[in-house]
A = this chain, B = another copy of it.
Amino acid sequence: MRQPMTALERVHVTEVGPRDGLQNEERVLTTAEKVALVRALVAAGVKEFELTSFVSPRAVPALADAAELVAELKDVEGIHFSALVPNLRGAERALEAGIDSIVLFVSASQSHNAKNVNRSVKESLRDFEQIARALEGSPIELRGAIATTFGCPFEGNVDVRAVGNIARHFADIGVRYVSLGDTTGMATPPLVSERIWHLREVASGIEPTLHFHNTRGIGLANVMQGLALGVDRFESSIGGLGGCPFAPGASGNIASEDLVYLLTEMGIDTGIDLPRLIEAAHVATRLMGRPLPAQVSKAGPRLALSDCSAVPTARG
């Protein structure tokens, strides 16, 4: 009786909890704790990870163990691990560590890029060309990420052409997968459509990955819009790890278990087993020592019998 809502049969879910999720958390996990979390996620069937960043340990202490973490996971087979790098030096460290792909990141808005990497957008794009040349012939894959794709916390709305321009530059240096980052949760369904349509026009060589935050509660509504447009790559973090230290209670990335629950119920294959993913979410919750924003790991899968039917007996 259940009909698929979309022609998509399979969707790729990249787990970004170890990087985007952990980098803003107050509690810094040890390398062994991160390894335990990643292994629990691998056991659930997760095949792609944004694992860490090769950035300044002073800037992001939570990810200072990037090389060590990659080394500790060397035995894990058939899994794609990526890491963010801001410049050539980071790329060289990532290459040396033996990561599968590096993610070159830039913001669509100037002021966010300046604050984030102390460069103009043009300078970042020039760095990327330099990195691409330096890594030519190496086994490492280059990917891209565009922060503030759907809006900037400093500038407000972001011109869709700024996103298209960066995507074209990525295509020019041979990047295929580009993540569209909803950095502070400003994406809306109409903006998702507008940006995807535009990229299909001006940078048809790239495959977009949608990376939503649930800051304003509509992360999975944006996923529905992405699915309706035929986008088949999404990023999420286990438990909804992340969030904003300045907005208590505000959510971070969309939660992997809520996303996989939605996709599975829509008849879309992710290769991920929901009950084991929920176990991984419980690992994350224990490690962080606080309740995480995800819902499915609290309520259980759909047919979990529930005590939550506290409706009134109403003979009155």
A→B interface (CB under 8 Å) = 1-5, 23-24, 53-60, 84, 86-87, 89-90, 112, 115-118, 147, 151, 153-154, 156-157, 160, 183-186, 188-191, 193-194, 214-218, 220-221, 223-225, 228, 244-251, 255, 258, 261-262, 265-267, 291, 294-296, 298-299, 302-303, 305-316
Contacts and interface: CB of A to CB of B under 8 A. Distances in A.
A188 B251 CA distance: 22
Contacts of A151: 302-303
9 contacts: A3-B194, A5-B225, A59-B313, A60-B312, A60-B316, A116-B314, A147-B311, A184-B308, A249-B298
B308 A5 contact: no
B5 A193 contact: yes
Contacts of A53: 312, 314
Q: Would you call the interface of chain A mostly helix, strand, loop, or mixed?
A: loop
Contacts of A314: 53, 55-56, 59-60, 84, 86, 90, 116-117
Contact of A57 (B87, B311, B316): B316
A202 to B, nearest CB: 14
Nearest to A117: B314
Q: Which of A215, A228, A310 has the most CB of B within 10 A?
A: A310
A63 to B, nearest CB: 8
A295 B3 contact: no
